[in-house]
Amino acid sequence: MTDPNATAHHQPSRRNRRELAIFGAVTLVIVGLDQLTKYWAQQYLLPRRLSGEDPIELLGGFLKFTYTENTGAAFSIGTGITWLFTLIAIAVVVVIFRYALRLGSLRWALALGGILGGSLGNLIDRMFRSPGPFEGAVVDFIQLPYWAIFNIADMAVVISGIGMAILLVRGVPLDGKPEVAGSQLETDL
């Protein structure tokens, strides 16, 4: 026998559909910007690097565009185990999709969309760039002083991760419904 409440739980509500649409739009925008800027970096910055030209400097050298490829994780950690980072990224994507089904909060939709967009942006590189699937190098090109070179996907993951930490600390529920205190719940029953 099927529990009618269990079935209703998996069907998106009107509010949930709005958050899912925002989640999807944020994800697509980040993946699109990430891949577009990586294409630009490969077409414009890589030839500059190969010909020995200096990086492009903006804001008095504070911001530089420098082409590099990263087979590891952040700060080029683990460059010999690219396949492991690929598997971790796939697991993260699956987990985010599962959580997205419960979305009811605009702020969580933005944060999860950012994490997913960034994860997919770098996962696309790992799956489709040289030397091959599960071992592809991630294109990085944005450089700030005293920081590793990064890309749009990395920015999205970091900013969204900070946003998620703030949401957790503030107790903002994923489903957008205010939590009912245990004593309040008992009196309601």
Q: Which residues participate in catalysis according to the annotation?
A: 140, 154
SS3 content of the chain, % helix, strand, coil (to 5): 60, 10, 30
Could you tell me if 48 and 67 are in contact, meaning their C-beta atoms sit under 8 angstroms apart? yes
Residue with tokens 């008095």: 60
Please state whether 74 falls in left (phi above 0), alpha (psi between -120 and 50) or beta. beta
Give strand ranges (E) for 54-151.
56-58, 63-70, 138-143
Could you tell me if 149 and 66 are in contact, meaning their C-beta atoms sit under 8 angstroms apart? yes
Distances in Å between the Cα of 2 and the Cα atoms of 5, 10, 13, 20, 42 are: 9, 13, 20, 26, 54
